[in-house]
């Protein structure tokens, strides 16, 4: 083989190696750019979605809780053994029906899908309560309402102070005072039930007026 032929082959091989190196480098750079872009987009969507997800989660929980308050309120209004439980149950129906309608309209305007029927857990709780009667029903209903409203007030306070969606945040702020009022009402009912159970609410001496106070809170003045 001649010296010229050998030199030509060497140059050709060197050229091929250079082309391969350029292609490989370009491919690696492109992959890195693509990965960087994808990662950046994923982070951007994750950052944007985090706030929306938290608000949506609040709306889902509020919708489910509101439905339960209405359903259990209807049971209490019909089956409650005491006037105070029946009246509280009707208040739940009225207030939570209004709040639920407002939340559904708000969610619909944002393309959110909220539950329209109780999940298995809440359906089981409703079924359990509906099987009770008399004072046993009252005790279980009041116990459930105290627990639920403590949770509800906490969730609405969180959304009202830290919500990312301004409309849901405003909804939480508007609804929170009503929930706090419900909490005070059911806590008073629960306290009275505990006093009745202990026998301390039958009559309370009123030293200033010389009268007594019955279980309904009505004063009977012995001086009349």
Q: What is the CATH number of the domain that holds 129?
A: 1.20.1260.10
**How many structural domains is the chain composed of?**
1
Domain with 127, as residue range(s), is 49-197
Q: Is residue 116 part of a domain?
A: yes
Q: Is residue 130 part of a domain?
A: yes
pLDDT digits (tens, 9 = 90+) for 83-130: 999 999 999 999 999 999 999 999 999 999 999 998 998 899 999 999
**CA-angle at 91, arms to 113 and 127, nearest 5°:** 65
Residue 38: CB atoms within 10 Å? 10
pTM above 0.75, yes or no: no
Q: Which residue has the higher pLDDT, 34 or 156?
A: 156
pLDDT digits (tens, 9 = 90+) for 149-180: 999 999 999 999 999 999 999 999 999 999 99
Q: How far apart are CA 23 and CA 25, in angstroms?
A: 5
Contact assessment for residue 186 and residue 88, using Cβ atoms and an 8 Å cutoff: yes
């Amino acid at each position: 083989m001649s010296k010229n032929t050998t030199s030509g082959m060497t140059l050709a091989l060197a050229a091929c190696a250079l082309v391969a190196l350029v292609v490989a480098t370009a491919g690696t750079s492109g992959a890195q750019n693509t990965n960087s872009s994808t990662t950046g987009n994923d982070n951007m969507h994750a950052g944007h979605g985090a706030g929306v997800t938290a608000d949506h989660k609040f709306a889902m929980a509020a919708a489910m809780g509101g439905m339960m308050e209405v359903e259990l309120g209807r049971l209490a209004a019909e089956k409650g053994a005491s006037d105070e439980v029946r009246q509280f149950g009707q208040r739940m129906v009225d207030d939570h029906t209004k709040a639920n309608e407002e939340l559904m309209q708000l969610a619909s305007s944002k393309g959110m899908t909220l539950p329209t029927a109780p999940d298995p857990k809440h359906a089981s709780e409703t079924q359990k309560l509906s099987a009770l009667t008399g004072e046993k029903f009252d005790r279980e209903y009041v116990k459930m309402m105290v627990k639920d409203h403590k949770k509800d007030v906490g969730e609405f306070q969180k959304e009202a102070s830290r919500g990312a969606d301004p409309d849901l945040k405003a909804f939480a702020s508007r609804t929170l005072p009503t929930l706090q009022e419900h909490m005070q009402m059911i806590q008073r009912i629960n306290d009275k039930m505990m006093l009745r159970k202990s026998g301390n609410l039958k009559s309370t001496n009123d030293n200033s007026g010389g009268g007594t106070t019955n279980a309904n809170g009505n004063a009977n003045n012995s001086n009349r």
